[in-house]
Amino acid sequence: MFLDLINLYKNNNNGNKTPLEDFNTEYFANILRLYKNVNDDYITNFLQLPDDNYVIKTQLKKDLPDKIKYK
């Protein structure tokens, strides 16, 4: 888990930027990966999703559709 955070810092360290959101995401995702009981409780009780085999992924790059207009 800590190596993921160190690598994330090295990859995103560009000047004064601190990737706080990315760190929090990685930390929470690793807790869910490491502790099955927390993962199960979070998915079934908090998110109220059905029991299934979920995969926890972070730092995915998604392209936004061209149709989205920003004001």
Written in H, E and C, the secondary structure of 30-71 is HHHHHCHHHHHHHHHHHCCCCCCCCCCCCCCCCCCCCCCCCC
Asked if 26 contacts 4 with a C-beta cutoff of 8 angstroms, the reply is: yes
Lookup result for tokens 């800590």: 2
Residues near 25 by beta carbon (within 8 Å), at least 6 away in sequence:
58, 59
Q: Kindly report the average pLDDT of the chain as a whole number.
A: 78
pLDDT value at position 60?
Answer: 78
User: pLDDT at position 21, please?
Assistant: 77
What percent of the chain stands above pLDDT 70?
Answer: 63
Answer whether 0.75 is exceeded by the pTM: no
